[in-house]
Structure formats: structure tokens, C-alpha cells
Amino acid sequence: MLNPPPPANNPAFSSARDIVRTVDAGQPLRWLVRAWHDVTRCGWISVLHGVAIALAGALMLWVAHDRFWFLAGAFSGFLLVGPVLVTSLYALSRGLERGEKAGFSKVLETWLNWKHGRIQPWGEAQWQLVRFGVLLALGGTVWVLISAALITWLAPVPITSPLVFVEQVVLAKEGWLFEAWLVLGGSLVAPIFASTVITIPFLLDRQVGIGQAIAASWRVVLGNPVPMAFWGAILMVLTFVGFATALTGLVLLVPLLGHASWHAYRDLLDASALPERE
């Protein structure tokens, strides 16, 4: 169950007038249940996001081909940039909360600022999301390069398939390559996860700056370490399942996780005192 919001003298209360709520460890499972309701209400519009990202994943696999070192890094990179790829799913969930129709126009409005039958000039809200997405893409690119360098230069044999990766890196009896790969990946993914867990829904929903949204995301994670660790594990495991099912699982898992991330934001942060973003 959700705990009551902390009083104003609690450290979780910021001068930006957003309040971090604390939730129990099982709350991420409830986010998934609410997300499923959103998927069923949005129908094909939600599923279309999963199809698009599955096709993008197929293109990534085609580019990787026999270069499994690229695929390993790209999987982690996908986790980093995933939050910005599903921005319109947040907008759909937000619209459902406000009693709005979950139509494809909401997707066009989110990505193209489509209003009154045509594309309108982008405002600060759109450019904030673009800048934040570029930062995430740079972080993902850095990790792909680091992962490629480690696996290519230090693996005892060329890594050309998942089986070879498991045999020569994960289950290697000598060396420390797998451990180093995990440590480096965790050192990059953990702070990015803390910086993004509610940042984009917050930017979409309220008139705040990128720095303020990132700070709130960090306070959410620090205020809910166990639920956030559980939520991060769910994101990682379900994304892996999506890839392991030849990307077909992503068709449903992407919209499910996208809508669930919106509900995570709504449960974890009370931003009602801040002006809404139209």
C-alpha cells in the first residue's frame, strides 16, 4: 500500500514543491496491473509502440549479425534509452487519467506537436525531451563502445554467438572479464536508472527543468531503495525476455512497461503543486 505523503519538514520535500512518496516493495507489481488495464483501453495504439521497437530491435540484430560483442552492449544500451522511446505511452496514460480519448492523435501530438490538423512549432517541452534523449543516447553509445572494447580485446577467442559468450566469458574458469564487464555496466546503468526512473513522465506532466526532474528522480530512488531495486530488476528481466523470444515478446512488454512507468511516477512523486504541462 502507498504510505501518506511526508510532511513539509521531511527531507523528501523540496523547494521545487514536489513531494517524494514512499511505497512498499510490492508496489511495482501493482504498476504492471494498472499498466495492463491501460494497454487494454488503448488497444492497438499501445501495441503499435511494441511493434515499432521490436522492428528496431530486429534491425539491431541484423546490424550485429555475428558480432555478439555489439549485441551485448546494445542490449544494455536499449535499457538506457528505453524511457525516451515510450514517451507517448506516458502521454496516453496521462490522457486516460484526465478522461481524454486514447487516440492516435495523442501519439502525433507527443512526437510532432500535432495540433489542429498540422505540425506546430516545437516548444520548450519538446526540446527538453530531445535534449534528455540525446544525453541518454550518448550514455548508451559510451557503454556499447566500452562493452565492445572489453569483449573484443580481452576475450580469449572471438565472441561470435551467445553460446560462445556464455562459455568463454560468463563461465570462464580463469580471468576476470565477466566480472569487469558487470562492474562497468552496473557503474553506468545504476546512475542512469536513478536519473531516469521518473524524469521523462515528470517533464511531460509538469513545467519543470531537466535538472529539477533528474534531482526528483534521484530522491525517488534514494527514498525507495528496495522498491526501486525490484522495479529495476523487473525492467531488466522483462526486457531480456523480450529479446530472448526473438523480439516477439517486446510487442506486449514494451507497452506494458511504458504504461507501468507512468504509474510509477504518479505513485512516487506528488507534483500537484507544480503547473501542468499542456
| Residue 20, SS3 per DSSP | strand
Which pLDDT score, from 0 to 100, does residue 14 have? 44
Question: Residue 222: its pLDDT value, please?
Answer: 96
Q: What's the DSSP call for residue 17? A: S
pLDDT for the residue 256: 97
Rounded Cα gap, residues 121 and 129, in angstroms? 15
Interatomic CA distance for residues 21 and 267, integer angstroms: 7
Instruction: Look at residue 97 in the predicted model and tell me its pLDDT.
Output: 95
Domain ranges of the chain: 19-270
pTM: 0.81
Question: Which residues, in sequence order, are CB contacts of 189 under 8 Å at separation 6+?
Answer: 76, 79, 80, 143
| Distance in angstroms between the alpha carbons of the first and the last residue of the chain | 30
The predicted pLDDT at position 74 comes to 63
pLDDT of residue 13: 38
Closest to 122 measured CA to CA, from 135, 109, 133, 134 = 109
Split the chain (278 residues) into runs of 10 and give each run's mean pLDDT: 42 58 97 98 95 86 66 63 86 95 87 72 78 80 76 75 71 76 78 91 93 95 96 90 87 96 97 88
In the structure grid, which three cell numbers stand for residue 272, read together? 500537484
Q: Which three cell numbers stand for residue 110?
A: 507527443
